[in-house]
Amino acid sequence: MARPQRASDEEIVARIAHHLGTREWPASSWSLAEVAPAAELSPAGLVKRFGSRTGLLRALGEHWVGAIPREPQLPDRPLEELRRFARDGFAAPSGAAAIAGLTDLLADLADDSTRAVLREGVERQLHYVARLVEHLALPRTGDPVRAAALLLDALHGGLVRRATEAGEGSPTPDNTIDAFLEWWT
- Spatial contact of 93 and 25, defined as CB atoms under 8 Å apart: yes
For domain 7-67, is the CATH number 1.10.10?
A: yes
Distance linking the first and last C-alpha atoms of the chain: 66
Instruction: For residue 100, give every residue at least 6 positions away whose Cβ sits within 8 Å of its Cβ, in sequence order, or none.
Output: 25, 26, 27, 28, 29
State the Cα–Cα distance between residues 35 and 30, nearest whole angstrom.
7
139 pLDDT band, cuts 50/70/90, is confident
42: left (phi over 0), alpha (psi -120 to 50) or beta: beta
CA 176 and chain centroid, separation: 17
How many beta carbons lie within 10 A of that of residue 180, not counting itself?
Answer: 20
Cα separation of 66 and 74, whole Å? 18
**Domain positions in the chain:** 7-67, 70-185
pLDDT > 90: percent of the chain: 46
The mean per-residue pLDDT over the stretch 116-124 comes to 92
Measured CA to CA in angstroms, residue 139 lies from 77, 127, 136, 185 at distances of 17, 19, 9, 6
Residue 75 CB partners (closer than 8 Å, separation 6+): 135
Q: What is the pLDDT of residues 65-112, one digit of tens each?
A: 999 999 999 989 999 999 999 998 887 666 666 666 767 777 777 888
Give the residue, 137 or 47, on which the prediction is more confident.
Answer: 47
Distance CA 135, CA 17 (A): 30
- The distance from CA 97 to its chain's CA centroid, rounded to whole angstroms, is 13
The whole model's pTM is what?
0.82
